[in-house]
Amino acid sequence: MTADQGHDPRTGEPVGEPVPHTSPSELDRACRAAAAAVPALAAMPPADRAELLRAVAGALAEHAGELVPLADAETGLGHPRLTGELTRTRVQLEMFAGVLDEGSYLEAVIDLPDPAAQPAPRPDLRRMLLPIGPVAVYAASNFPFAFSIAGGDTASALAAGCPVIVKAHPGHPGLAARCGQVVTGALAAAGAPAGTFAVVHGLDAGRALVQHPAIAAAGFTGSLAGGRALFDLAAARPDPIPFYGELGSLNPVVITAGALADRADPIVAGFVGSYLLGSGQFCTKPGVVLLPAGHGLADRLATAVRQTDLGPLLNARIQTGYAQTAAALSAVPGVRSLLGPTAPPAGPGAQAAPVLLAVDAPTLLDRADELLVECFGPASLLVEYATTEALLATLSALPGSLTATIHADPATETDLVTTLVDRLTARAGRVIFDGWPTGVAVTWAMHHGGPWPATTNAGHTSVGVTAIRRFQRPVVYQNAPDPLLPPALQDGNPWRIPRRVNGTLTT
């Protein structure tokens, strides 16, 4: 196949014209242009780079009336959801523009010379973070704006001063191509260097992109299999590069007896709403829920699920993967079906029926390799524990996740809650109390990452201000003449940024 074709998941019908795959020569030209753009983009004052991001945000808002219907036609996610997601994408760009204006992202540190320092005289040392170089971004299927062409990876890389080449997702190729044109035009009009941004299409182009010698880092959101394949290619290069992949997450939820006694109905409603949100196609979907044995919620849960309307899955490939994984989970000995799996509803497109399974904790521990598997779509697994010891043993078996959630009664279960916090903090990047994991705020404090297999590097995030840190590297200048220093480190501090001088933060 030499082109990607969009399809309406509600009908299965083609959408728009096929988008040709990027040829090897086209990919090479884009990567070389990105490398050539590095010096000029890195040298732009932060305030000027901030205006580039604001220009992209403004262009997306200006073209919303065109982009949202195109996204809906290729993803079936609906105008309200997509309008909100486009707003989130714009907000991310504007947030990083504010990060550039504030300046602390450079982490400028100055240690002035001290001939009396012990155990030896100290030279003049000045350290800051610099752009790492051209970044490859791999777009996700389930967030066609916020984790795609102009999403968080692109915004944070551009903010860092890195040219970006985005590998478009084949699930929404027409939208990717048009968004790429909008972003490229906005950057050019705002004065970005030629080569600052490009979009490529096709599986072969995606593989070649992460291996191209001009690429210095990569950001990925997608499946465990796809991310692991690219991660291995990045590591196998003659010059290995950092690969920041968000791959898959079960997002465990622990519900205690105290929580059920206090608020069972809100818990039922909240869980069902969260695991079926977006037809279960969120990376933060609660995929494993630990409940006390004898919880008595089976009928209420099944009823709440049946009363929830589901949209289609994003595409036929996801529909097939969902059906296969749900069937495999339900076939594991000891697993009970509270709902499904069944054949998808009759009709065209990528329809799917919800699945809710249950298993006791000892069986889960015996069959962990088979059961602790992400099922991307409207499915979740209830794990029933009879004792605190069984609960804690189950938590120890869980793989790393983006999130972990606790529903408990701290007043009557103080020791248990303390233990749960410790155990879940070791397994996830975000620990949630009395809430649900779907919904990731775009803020300075957010961390959207976690231990393997949630991400390839638990020390970094793909959402929030510190996402920029993935695409920077530290450099120290020793005894450098002031005129040769970057502006951020010069004595006069011409960019007026926060700096730490001799250990003291100055603003």
246 is catalytic: yes
Pairing verdict, β 14-20 and 3-7: antiparallel
b (16+ CB within 10 A) / e for 27-37 = beebbebbbeb
β-pairing, 499-501 with 135-138?
Answer: unpaired
Alpha-carbon separation of residue 150 from 24, 93, 396 (angstroms): 23, 8, 38
The angle at the Cα of 6, spanning 5 to 8, to the nearest 5 degrees, equals 140
How far apart CA 234 and CA 221 sit, in angstroms, is 15
40-46 long-range contacts, Cβ below 8 Å, gap at least 24?
40/193, 41/131, 41/161, 41/162, 41/163, 41/192, 41/193, 41/196, 42/130, 42/131, 42/161, 44/161, 45/487, 45/495, 46/100, 46/101, 46/103, 46/106, 46/495, 46/497
**Any idea what the Cα angle at residue 311 is, between residues 306 and 317, rounded to 5°?**
115
For residue 96, the number of C-alpha atoms closer than 13 Å in the C-beta half-sphere is: 32
Six-digit token string for 307: 């009363």
Q: Which of 94, 246, 384, 413 does the annotation list as catalytic? A: 246
Q: 448-460: b or e for each residue (b if 16 or more CB lie within 10 Å)?
A: bbbbebbbbbeeb
Q: Which two tokens stand for residue 456?
A: 């390839």
* CB contact burial 332-343 (16+ within 10 A = b; e otherwise): beebeebbbbee
- Write the single-letter amino acid at 442: V
Q: Cα–Cα distance between 310 and 349 in angstroms, integer?
A: 13
CA 468, CA 129: separation in Å to the nearest integer? 10
For the chain, what's the residue count?
A: 507
Name, in order, each residue with C-beta under 8 angstroms of 52's C-beta and a sequence gap of 6 or more: 44, 158, 187, 190, 191, 192, 196
What letter does residue 455 receive in the DSSP assignment?
B
User: DSSP characters for 196-262?
Assistant: SEEEE-SHHHHHHHHH-TT--EEEEES-HHHHHHHHHHHHHSSS---EEEE------EEE-HHHHHH
Among residues 31, 162, 179, 283, the one annotated as catalytic is 283
Q: Which residues carry out catalysis?
A: 246, 283
